[in-house]
A and B are shown apart, each in its own frame.
Chain A
Amino acid sequence: MTNTQQLIRAVAEADSPARMIAAVQKLAAAQDEAAIPTLIAVFGYNNPAAAVAAVTGLTQLGEVAVPQLLEQIDDYNYGARAYSIRALAAIADPRALDVLLASAATDFAPSVRRAAAKGLGNLRFHKLENPQRQQAQAKALETLMFISQDPDWSIRYAAVVGLQGLAKIPELQQQILAKFAEISTNETEGSLRARVQLAQKQVLG
């Protein structure tokens, strides 16, 4: 049995939350592609510390984990789904675009929507060729603009964080700064206005 198989077995056999966390941390640290399905399955175990370790491991594995992350999103467990979206957002592979767009706009769970909104701002769009690149950027911008008007303040907050990320793209910057100016004027939550102020400052350097 390989080392990775032994580590996978240790996750399966963990009989306490603490042992589960330790086992997942070791498996994540192994950085072996064979661990990907097990790490994704951990999202559904209702063990937040173990799930965070699994997200870290998958993020470090990077692009190679993206296809399975996309295929194995749990449609029936929003807690698990939020971790999948966080991993996809952190890896930032543009193949996740459609999932992030749909999650940000229409998922019922705010935790999923926030993770997707943040992720939409940081995708590695340069991996795409034009015209796909411009289309992808335009879709991300459109969705973030839309959810920046959500009734839930935490969704608006995540939209601002996402827009700040997108503002690194020179062609989108003017439009995003105009949106920030609009939010500064109309937003009733002081915390949101402060976050926009920080975004403006960081965008303009």
Chain B
Amino acid sequence: MIEPSAEAYSAENAPPLTKEQAIANLQSPDLSLRYYAAWWLGKNRVRDQAVVDALIVALEDEADRTEMGGYPLRRNAARALGKLGDMRAVPSLIKSLECSDFYVREAAAQSLATLKDIVAAPALMQLLNGGVAAAVPVPGRPHLTQPYEAVLEALGAIGATEAISLIEPFLDHPVPRVQCAAARAMYQLTQDAKYGQRLVQVLDSNDLKLRRVALGDLGAIGYLPAADAIANAKVENSFKLIALKGLLEHQLQQELDVSSLSEDAIRVMNLMDSLL
């Protein structure tokens, strides 16, 4: 369910930008320059009030449309706002969850997950309306009716415990990636190891992409008992290192005494060393 991103622009094809130029380009009459500038500002994490304001305006853009009715500039603006960490974007991103374009809703949910503002919970929960029964593929499109993975992950990330009963049924959704997102959120909201273990089991899947997804989820939730299973998973070392880094950082946050390293933290680092 991942749309080909603007990363496909290679450095050679794209005009070299400066911060000032990128901000100016957001208002350019050339829509492709606006689209590129929105991506560039997010990628380079240009934290500037003017940038955030301009990107919030771009979330309402009507000029840039695809044949299918999509809003490319809105998608990039929503993605960029998640990277800039400015909470002023939250109300506009919540509004974007109602956009007719699936990919705008997905980008908004992903960005709300990184901004972690609990006020987004009711709007995110709205997207789970109808439960698993409504979470079916849209005919002719490569995605479901809603961006369920992103919504479930966002609810977990922001700590929306009121959503637990809505999330739990998605553990049995027919799409494995949605199941993973539900397990990830359930673990974050309950800290119950059985959800972490579900993700560990996915590391034995025959599907390499799914194993990578599970690694990402385990890293995101910092599920320490998975450390050895992560190190032994049949996945490229780069993915394992990122997952173990997630475990390590989670562990460091738990430790109040910053002057000494715990046995667990050292164990994770030894595993990381072995993967270099």
Contacts and interface: CB of A to CB of B under 8 A. Distances in A.
Partners in one complex: yes
A191 B249 contact: yes
B220 to A, nearest CB: 14
A197 B252 CA distance: 12
Nearest to B272: A157
A158 B274 CA distance: 10
A115 B276 contact: yes
B265 A194 contact: yes
Nearest to B248: A191
> Size class of A's contact patch?
20 to 34
Q: Which among A118, A157, A191 has the greatest number of chain B C-beta atoms within 10 A?
A: A191
Nearest to B275: A114
A195 interface: yes
B245 A153 contact: yes
B252 A194 contact: yes
Contacts of B276: 114-115, 117-118, 157-158, 161
Contacts of A158: 276
B234 interface: yes
A115 B274 CA distance: 10
A68 to B, nearest CB: 23
B237 A201 contact: no
A197 B272 contact: no
A89 to B, nearest CB: 9
Contacts of A173: none
A190 interface: yes
Interface in B229-248: 234, 236-238, 241-242, 245, 248
23 contacts: A110-B238, A111-B237, A111-B238, A114-B276, A118-B273, A153-B245, A154-B238, A154-B242, A157-B241, A157-B272, A157-B276, A158-B276, A161-B273, A190-B248, A190-B252, A190-B253, A194-B252, A194-B261, A194-B265, A194-B269, A195-B269, A195-B272, A197-B261
5 tightest Cβ-Cβ pairs between the two chains A and B: A118-B276, A114-B276, A191-B248, A158-B276, A191-B245
Interface of B: 234, 236-238, 241-242, 245, 248-249, 252-253, 261, 265-266, 269, 272-273, 276
